[in-house]
Structure 1
Amino acid sequence: MPMRHADLSVAPKRILIIKLRHHGDMLLTTPVINNLRHHYPDCEIDILLYKETEAILRAHPAISVIHAIDRAWKKQGFVFHLKQELGLIKAIRRRRYDIVINLADQWRSAIITWASGAPCRIGYAFSKRRSAVWRQAHTHLVPTDNFGQLHTVEQNLAILAPLNLAIDNDRTSMHYSPSDDRVGREKLAAAGVTGAYIVIQPTSRWRYKCWDDAKVAALIDGLGEYNLSIVLTAAPDKKERQMIDHIQSLSIGSDAVSLAGELTLPQLAAVIDHARLFIGVDSAPMHMAAALDTPCIALFGPTKLQHWRPWNENSTVIWAGDFAALPRPDTIDTNTHERYLSAIPVESVLQAAKSYLT
């Protein structure tokens, strides 16, 4: 299929967005999706992502087709992997996109962008990608010189500059289906939660982002005065579930219930959506709470706050760096077992919770 020529004065019929990152990153692409839908209401908007993150965007009403890369392909051998990659490119080319928006920084995403055959192919002018190959893959490159001062949402929205689109709304959005809502309510009821509740998500795939188990337990006990159920959530990961069990064992005066590993991400979104308050560490559920406008207390350690803080005005960030010296985020060994959030006092989190609950 020969390359077509771009005519940006004509409303596109199909747009593909490429983002190959983690769950939270995918949620932070939703302002791009939402603005494209606002300006091009009749356009089909598709997305290419990693298969494991599909649940974050599956229920988004503006998305027509989801293309997914399964990172397990490579475990099936070279021939199988190559066949799947070529099949993906063929599926993308068959869609005949007018615009491809590459929000990723991988060479893989650039190759797919170029191979799409789209007449308009927008990417970022990353300093680490200053090459003829990267330039050839894109027809428009957006400068990234000021990205150090921008939130990830603002970085993502900058990709729309070549289209001359006014930013109508920069809010993130999290969608779930009626069945997700029903399952969430059923899980709560089965756990004995029939009234108002607080969701606490103390876990992360990276231990350095976690608070001390004993302090989480003390927080749970301290919240007892509000007569609200406490719901603990976590991923299905064995270590995360063990962490939840340990926290429950340390809690003295509370009957906190655990839904750790029992909810899909959309079901978790439904549970968070109906909560009085969400308290959690830097993780995808924290970004979900912000997107759902559930009051949110976010605990941060050596993370780039400017990039990853909750993107709404109904949140409070408690940063461990206000209580102790922290290493620079770029120097962190992500496999460390050290918990840099341990400097955060329980009382600071309780005070923040009080401001939302009274």
Structure 2
Amino acid sequence: MVTIIPAILILVALFVMELAYFKIADHYNIIDKPNARSSHQTVTLRGGGIIFSLAVIVFFILSDFQYLYFVIGLISIATISFLDDILTLNNKVRLSVHFVSVLFMFYQWQLFTQPWYYIIIALIFVIGTINAYNFMDGINGITGAYSLLAICTLYYVNTKIVSFTSSDFLTIIAFSLIVFNFFNFRKKAKCFAGDVGSVSIAFTLIFLIGQLVLKTGNFGYILLFLFYGLDTATTIIFRKIRKENIFEAHRSHFYQYLANQKKWNHLAVTVLYVTIQFLINVVLLLYINTPMLPILIAVAIIAILFVGLRFAVEGKNYLLKTHH
């Protein structure tokens, strides 16, 4: 159990690591320049989310090398994502490493004892979720704040409802998110997460939620990603309707519309998303042990309301006709 003094030391160490990375990124010009697809206007250091992987390594060492195969997968996917941040790699190379990394996660979950079709379904879901989480990282604060909410919710579940993972692991990941948010959750961010950050925190959160689902047999906990999932899924559907290449960079997410077309403050959009997901989490935990059918009906109602909201705010033409 991480006590007060070690906790403070770990938090300070993570701050020092982040500041050291800033020096390296500045020296080697690892930056994010604004372009037509960006939601920011100034040159900013990229890759600040490397702190999430460093935090996992800190836990790994302090815990006498717990979750070995997960850590191997995380280091692999974080490394290829960092290289993609600075070099822009071939998609086949990147996705191949994602595939292998996820298999390491599955081995840590002992998923290979399950029927083969479980593994196929899990593979599609996990790789899709990792990439969706990456696509959602487009404005200041959103990845850090949304992820911190998820970690805090998982910590509550782990300590109050069912123990499914190490509380120290959750605590150290939370510390890394606090450090990142200190530099990113502001009007003019000091750094962006980069693919190394958004992909590695997605990988970590999926691992934790997977542990929870496997421990409880309750797939309802996947709804801790619900609002991100709704934005991603509806955006993909609208882009397919517009006959766009869904793998190309874009600014079609609802949060991007609010930030770019409506000119909302980035942090206001982030707070909106986190607040809605917080309310979903509260309701989820209150009714987590109810049958799945009412939960699925509630999700369907929320999805319909969200689609209606998008039509009301963005308009039929913007959502259904090709953007120029």
TM-score computed with the length of structure 1 as normaliser: 0.25
Q: Which has the larger radius of gyration?
A: 1
Quick one: higher RCO (CA 8 Å, sep 6+), 1 or 2?
A: 2
TM-score computed with the length of structure 2 as normaliser: 0.27
More strand by share: 1
